[in-house]
Chain A
Amino acid sequence: MVDDGLYAALVRRGMTRRTFLKFSTAMAAALALPATYAPRIAEAVASAPRLPVIWLRGQDCGGETEAFLRAADPTAASLLLDLLSVEYHETLMAPAGADAELLRTNAMERYPNGYLAVVEGSIPTGAGGAYCLVGGRPFVDIVREVCDGALATIAVGACAFDGGAPGAGGGATDARSVRDVTSGGGAYIALPGCPLNVDNLAATIVHYLTLGEWPATDGRGRPLFAYGPLIHNECERRPHFEFGEFVQAWGDEGAQKGWCLYKMGCKGPEAFGNCATQQFAQSTSWPIHAGHGCIGCTMPNFWDAMSPFYRRLPSPVPFFPNVTADGVGTALVGGIGAVAAAHGVGMYARTRLTARAERRAAAAAAAAEADATQAAATTPAGTTTLPRPEAIEPDAPAPSAPEREAPSTLTPNEPPPPRAGDDPEVR
């Protein structure tokens, strides 16, 4: 097997060292590593042989594969041709039928405990597995066999993470998560989201290639670099929350000014993820930037736990009532540190946290400068600048008082109407 690594492959296709280092720097940023890690990433990735991947799709919508195709750093073409060896991916492979299956089984034999198993979609276990058949076999059998012999299993998207949409409200097919049906076999990483942010998948792989280990995760297998931050804390609209400036109706003045979407049901205060900082598609945008609230799709059972999606959360920061934004940050940092230490990588975590602190300080400085400029431009000298009283009074965060909205057929605090899973009459 002739393989001199990614960097050589990239040079062959005309990539400059500068572009390659830019990629490495982008990866370091995604992983919240200090910029000094970039050369190390470049070096490690450049010399790494292509990592074999078996990508399985079960009860999926194709969303994770589509997200994969939009990968920018590195590009999907680069992942397919230079960084990974996609041994099996039903959507992205030329051979079909038995030939395709042979590639899968061959890869399992050739790279015992050496390939990456990526699973997209939930795994139905009802009706003897007949709800998803691949090559005539129940998908659940294939998942077990592939994941058991893998170097690591990565569950991509909400469905593989916890059963997702097919498993919501009980579901009709006994849809399960990857973790529900597999036991042994290598590391387990979960990258939930509906769909996942592909930057986090790329960064997870690069993390392994660079440091020889998988990123530190929380108890559900979610890498902390990606699923540690509270979206609300890093949200671009957070200052408006503090000022009590809320969108009150779609398209109103607040919406046009980019005010906080908390009252429109945004789940940012309850959802963890790096969406606000990493954003999507080369940091082009993210849902809140498009004026729509977060639906909490990185969280367990979000289709049930986070809906109705336009119902305002009962309290602004339910996990940490009565603490300030800074307090929330401290609690999170402590949590990350504890988990990381438990994994024996405290040193690494500290480096990462320092990097984040540096990034934040830089961002704050830049913001302060911008604020000063703006204030100078828009505020005449001598004007007192106080928050508007009416914005504070009714909208102030009241941690213990549940929200009441105008009476409607959907009373906010009543349990949602029964769903199919609750009713024995309904299958």
Chain B
Amino acid sequence: MARITIDPVTRVGGHLRIEADVAAGEVLDAWSSGTMFRGLEAILRGRDARDAWMIADRVCGTCTGVHALASVRAVEDALGISIPDNARLVRNILAATLAVRDHIVRFYLAQLPDWVDATVALGADPTAASSLARSLGDWPQSSPAYFSGVRDRLAAASGSGQAGPFATSFPGHPGYQLPPELSLVLLAHAIEALDWQRDFMRIHTLLGGRDPHPQSYLVGGVSLTPPWGGPPARRAGEHPQLPDRNTPSAMSDEGLALIDDLIARAQTFISWVLMPDVLQLAEAYSDWGKVGVGAASYLTFGDYPGSAVEAGKLFLPRGRILGGNLASLSEMNDTSVAESVAASWYADDDGAEPRRPVNGRTDPAYSGPALPLATLEGAAKYSWLKAPRYNGQPMEVGPLARMAVAYADGQVDVRAAMNAALTKLGLEPAALFSTMGRTLARTVETRVMAKQAGAWLTQLKGNLAKGDLALVDGGHWDPGSWPATAEGSSLGEGPRGAVGHWVAIQDGVVRDYQIVDATTWNASPRDANGARGPLEQALLGTPVSDPGQPLEILRTVHSFDPCVACAVHTFNPRSGGAIEIRVNYTETSR
């Protein structure tokens, strides 16, 4: 038996270490360790509650805006503020476009290097690559000269230094099965994706003022304003008004048209580039539809609230799927969420009893092996991540969980897109519960959300055209109008899965704050019962052809798209005694 250590696990956010015991060509046991802790609670406590979202957003710059949105919703929940419909639409568009961008970039930059050997791609025949690309779709960048140029560019880069994410993890590894031409097409698309996302994210710069870390949220709505509708009425003694100069442009006709265009181009890119690429990959590596199953239980908080007319119905529903059974959808109640620190580097004088987030504690106390760390073998505690559990059970979160729940719930768009993909591959839905299935579900979600972002934009334009110009409810802005104490929460979704924020406000400032984040669920260590986290479980049985080149382990790890920067539990209540935050949550009351 050999112990394999991968540290740093690259192509993830934050810092992740994986250790695995390998024998007879497969993983016998695995340990997932988050190796970074920030302790941002010191900055959040005592802050103006209206500032909280800006600080919370710094939890993660990759899923930018996700934590800002969760935080601003939690504060609004505490204060009983409902936001204008236009603000809801802007927030939904920001969240959906972020998910689209994130999924595509992570597929091409983080996951693809596990499946494509760039050195093989250099041997491709550009003419054959061109024919292949043209057979896959109508994407115009497909001439032999184009692929010849890409090949030369990659060759020059690898000949004069490093090619970053366009290089190869383990050159010549037998696990790479793609022919040279397909490899070259995929790498060409990876470079194009990098260029495409830069333009696409101008949506966030328009709607958020900048990107990453948008700066247009407000408790009560968003700071964007509709365009000033023409020259103002003249008043005696007034200096000249300049109605068209310096007025915010994102909500203007030009701004909305640009966003519309960028979303349309994203839809084209997904249909003609991303979708064919993922299907090719899933076909070539069909055996990876059986590897990396993991917990087989899935949890989503659901997200994207609908309009008042739709009674706030979530576009992606919340719920649970247990044991991979898509025929049965279980309800989700956040009072069943609790976190264990049995294997985490935190002190808890209450013993190993898991704590609900509202009573959570975070007392960092490194108790791992002496530094530098050689191995975690034998260490009872081995991660900065806590272990969130639902009714004591590990749950996988993320695109696969969202798509599985939406599929089981009969969500029309998800069903259609998912069935189309599965039919093309000749697969049953059960194949989704695997390493390749996670990538497939992520791709299906990308397609669904890009389409829906366009639908929300159409609604937004319709509202503005009707003269509904409200984007913020400023009625609760003054903290003097707030109750002396208030508590609230937000349960939603980021690209990587369920995101929960809990806030307690006292005299206008944040008294306590708690976050349970997506990758905390997936990459969590063992809990008090010794149950492995979903990522650890998924690694069991993963084949490893060469322990010196653990390519297969990286494939399953990256299928979760871990982002450990946000998973490390960052905020905690410090109020001494445990506080009770009431969470009365129903689907329609966000």
Q: Could you list which residues of chain A lie within 8 angstroms of chain B, going by C-beta atoms? A: 1-3, 9, 12-14, 49-50, 52, 57-67, 69-72, 75-77, 80-82, 85-87, 89-101, 103, 124, 127-139, 164-166, 168-173, 175, 194-195, 236-237, 239-240, 243, 249-252, 255-258, 280-282, 284-292, 295, 303, 307-311, 370-371, 374-375, 377-380, 383-389, 406-410, 416-421, 426-427
A236/B246 in contact, CB under 8 A = yes
- A131: chain B residues within 8 A (beta carbon): 36-39, 364, 366, 384
Contact A135 B46 (CB under 8 A): no
Is there a chain A Cβ closer than 8 Å to B477's Cβ?
yes
Whether B210 and A388, one on each chain, are in contact in the complex, defined by CB atoms closer than 8 angstroms, is no
When the two chains form their complex, are residues B160 and A290 in contact, meaning their CB atoms are under 8 A apart? no
Question: Are B239 and A61 in touch, CB under 8 angstroms?
Answer: no
Whole-angstrom distance between the alpha carbons of A383 and B563 in the complex? 61
Contact B247 A81 (CB under 8 A): no
Partner of B43, one of A60, A91, A165: A165
In the complex, chain B residues whose CB is within 8 Å of the CB of A82: 153, 157
Q: How far is the CB of B239 from chain A (nearest CB, A)?
A: 5
Across-interface contacts of B206 in A (CB, < 8 A): 284-285, 290
The interface residues of chain B lying within 8 Å CB-to-CB of A255 are 223, 225
Assembly CA distance A288 to B566 (angstroms): 28
B59-A408 in contact (CB<8A): no
User: Cβ of B373: which chain A residues have Cβ within 8 Å of it?
Assistant: 133, 136-137
Interface string of B91-120 (1 = CB under 8 A from A): 000000000000001000110010000100
Report whether A91 and B10 are in contact in the complex, using a CB–CB cutoff of 8 Å: yes
How far, in whole Å, are A128 and B363 apart by their CA atoms in the complex? 16
Complex Cα distance A408/B479, Å?
Answer: 6
Chain B residue contacts of A281, Cβ below 8 A:
198, 201-202, 204-205, 210-211
Contact with A along B474-494 (1 / 0, CB 8 A): 100111101010000000000
B59, A61: Cβ atoms closer than 8 Å: yes
| Residue in A65, A97, A124, A282 with the greatest tally of chain B CB atoms within 10 Å | A97
Size class of the contact patch on chain B: 35 or more
Write the chain A residue with the least CB distance to B194: A77
- Chain A proximity of B63: nearest CB distance (Å): 9
Of the listed stretches B12-20, B299-307, B393-401, chain A binds: B12-20
A117 to chain B minimum Cβ distance, whole angstroms, is: 15
In the bound complex, CA of A194 to CA of B242 (Å): 32
Q: B246: which A residues are within 8 A, CB to CB?
A: 236-237, 239-240, 257-258
Known: A12-B149, A420-B42. A132 touches B36 (CB 8 A): yes
A287 to B61, CA, bound (A): 17
Q: Which residue of A lies closest to B365 (CB)?
A: A127
Q: Which of B166-174, B290-298, B437-445, B450-458 contacts A (4 or more CB under 8 A)?
A: B166-174
Q: A420 contacts which chain B residues (CB < 8 A)? A: 41-42, 45-46, 574
Given A290-B248, A385-B238, is A408 in contact with B8 using a C-beta cutoff of 8 Å?
no
Within 8 A of A (CB), among B478-530: 478-480, 482, 484, 507-509
Q: Which residues of B contact A408 (CB under 8 A)?
A: 478-480, 508
Chain B 428-447 near chain A by CB (<8 Å), digits 1 or 0: 00000000000000000000
Q: Which of A12, A77, A97, A371 makes the CB contact (< 8 A) with B156?
A: A12
Knowing A94-B168, A137-B371 are in contact, say whether A421-B194 is a contact too (CB < 8 A).
Answer: no
**Contact flags B178-218 to A (C-beta < 8 A → 1, else 0):** 00000000000001001101100110111111111111101
B164 within 8 A of A: yes
Given contacts A255-B223, A280-B211, A287-B210, 6 further A-B contacts (CB under 8 A): A72-B198, A96-B11, A172-B38, A281-B210, A288-B209, A426-B574
Q: Could you give, for residues 351-373 of chain B, a 1 whenever the CB lies within 8 Å of some chain A CB and a 0 otherwise?
A: 00000000000011010100111
Q: Closest residue of chain A to B574, judged by CB? A: A426
Q: Contact: B150 with A380, CB < 8 Å?
A: no
Please judge, given known A-B contacts A2-B159, A172-B39, A421-B42, whether A378 and B8 are in contact too, CB under 8 Å.
no
Which B residues are in CB contact (< 8 Å) with A389?
Answer: 237
**Contact, CB under 8 Å: A310 / B50:** yes
Q: Is the CB of A49 within 8 A of B160?
A: yes
Contact of A291 among B37, B41, B225, B372 (CB under 8 A): B225
A251 engages B42 (CB within 8 Å): no
